């Protein structure tokens, strides 16, 4: 978890006081530091590319804001897209089709046709998808997603690589599936797996690469097919809590590339970081509007609820919080930070040691760049909030807030009810 500077009791973010950002743009608001994003990309790319040819495909489901995508495009990233919407959004941000890899799940034929027509390489997720794509276009570049029987993640809801998963070709059918792809006229360029999201140790990722290396060699032995790329997927976690150990990305890169170079003839590794790139780039700023003491609980009521940030309610996730305008004060009591949603589960944080709160205080919620705005909603008819980009003390609006009218935009009342 990143530490941020203190300016006379005020939190500094991206070279600006958080309070100044909130006063200008209102709350709740997501604020991203461009320099942290660029730094994160360069760190992970350099760690792997010093050992072998490397393709970084940003898992844009984590955060698909156009400005974020544009920055990563400038850095040379590729894209891991899981829907036509993500494909087209990435193209809008400037990514060519050749730098996007579509990895859908339970993909419709219509969606497959659209992706193929756009010229985007496709990561095949099932035997059915392979057969249906053959009826559309066998010239489109493909790789195949396999179920490696290796799973990991911060929650059981995000483990994707375990045996019996809904994702990928079962391990015992992989070699046969590559044979079928060749029979249909495809020439697969790679093999892919994904263990899960937000793991904190490198061992599962090393294990999955070992599995992929064995499969690569078995495919070559059985079908004479030399794959070009081993795609280890994503899942690199980040620390959400103070003093939590950070994954050693240099150690991971060295271990993974050693396996590929020593055990296979493949000379290109691909990886799909999402959370690792964007998580700690962003804070959520939310204003305290209500302070209440119930005898058993002390509450700080803010204007961001689980419509704005659902991870704590959905996954039980921890996000560090601080009072941005009392940044130099020690905790004076234990407080729950709660939102305006009409649900008992509308908690952002529980039992946190914080300075004594007052109405008007600004609460900063850390590590909100991944799966935060992208999972937000209009529940309770609350419009989604703004997003702001900061760069060396300059703040720019990159997404405006919705209005109440936006909530009605695609609705209609039948004339017979008028």
Beta carbons of 280 and 366 less than 8 angstroms apart: yes
Instruction: Give the three-class secondary structure for 33.
Output: strand
Q: What is the DSSP letter of 233?
A: -
The partner residues of 59 in beta bridges, in order of sequence, read: 80
Taking only Cα atoms into account, the Rg of the chain, rounded to an integer number of angstroms, comes to 23
Residue tagged 């991870």 (tokens): 311
State the Cα angle at 67 between 63 and 73, rounded to 5°: 90
Task: Please give the structure tokens belonging to residue 85.
Answer: 């919407």
Pairwise CA distance, residues 79 & 245, whole Å: 28
Pairwise CA distance, residues 92 & 95, whole Å: 7
Which residues are known to be catalytic? 342
- Is the N-terminal amide bond of 306 cis, ω within 30° of 0? no
Pairwise CA distance, residues 19 & 23, whole Å: 6
Nearest alpha carbon to residue 177 among 121, 130, 224, 142: 130
Question: CA 319: distance to chain centroid?
Answer: 15
Nearest alpha carbon to residue 249 among 43, 409, 80: 43
State the Cα angle at 46 between 45 and 48, rounded to 5°: 70
Task: Please give the structure tokens belonging to residue 383.
Answer: 């419009």
The partner residues of 56 in beta bridges, in order of sequence, read: 271
Question: CA 304: distance to chain centroid?
Answer: 20
């Amino acid at each position: 978890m990143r530490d941020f500077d203190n300016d006379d009791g005020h939190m500094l973010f991206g070279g600006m006081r958080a309070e100044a950002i909130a006063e200008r743009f209102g709350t709740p608001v997501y604020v991203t530091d461009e320099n942290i994003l660029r730094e994160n990309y360069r760190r992970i790319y350099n760690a792997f590319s010093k050992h072998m040819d490397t393709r970084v495909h940003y898992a844009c489901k984590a955060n698909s804001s156009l400005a974020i995508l544009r920055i990563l495009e400038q850095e040379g990233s590729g894209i891991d897209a899981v829907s036509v919407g993500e494909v087209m959004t990435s193209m809008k941000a400037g990514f060519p089709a050749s730098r996007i890899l579509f990895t859908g799940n339970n993909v419709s034929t219509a969606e497959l046709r659209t992706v193929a027509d756009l010229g985007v390489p496709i990561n095949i997720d099932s035997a059915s998808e392979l057969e249906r794509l053959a009826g559309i276009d066998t010239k489109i570049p493909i790789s195949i997603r396999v179920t490696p029987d290796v799973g990991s993640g911060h929650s059981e809801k995000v483990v994707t690589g375990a045996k019996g998963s809904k994702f990928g070709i079962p391990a015992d059918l992989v070699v046969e599936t590559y044979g079928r792809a060749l029979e249909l006229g495809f020439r697969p360029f790679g093999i892919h797996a994904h263990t899960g999201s937000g793991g904190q140790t490198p061992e599962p990722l090393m294990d999955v690469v070992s599995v992929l290396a064995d499969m690569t060699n078995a495919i070559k032995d059985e079908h004479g097919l030399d794959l070009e790329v081993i795609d280890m997927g994503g899942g690199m976690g980040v620390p959400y809590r103070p003093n939590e150990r950070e994954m050693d990305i240099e150690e991971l890169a060295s271990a993974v590339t050693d396996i590929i170079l020593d055990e296979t003839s493949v000379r290109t590794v691909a990886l799909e970081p999402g959370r690792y790139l964007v998580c700690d780039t962003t804070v959520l700023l939310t204003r305290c509007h209500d302070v209440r003491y119930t005898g058993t609980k002390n509450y700080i009521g803010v204007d961001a609820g689980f419509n704005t940030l659902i991870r704590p309610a959905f996954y039980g996730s921890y996000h560090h919080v601080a009072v941005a305008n009392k940044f130099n004060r020690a905790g004076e009591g234990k407080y729950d930070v709660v939102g305006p949603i009409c649900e008992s589960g509308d908690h952002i944080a529980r039992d946190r040691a914080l300075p004594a709160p007052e109405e008007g205080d600004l609460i900063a919620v850390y590590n909100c760049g991944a799966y935060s705005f992208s999972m937000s909603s209009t529940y309770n008819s609350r419009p989604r909030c703004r997003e702001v980009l900061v760069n060396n003390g300059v703040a720019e609006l990159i997404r405006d807030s919705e209005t109440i009218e936006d909530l009605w935009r695609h609705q209609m009342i039948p004339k017979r009810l008028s």
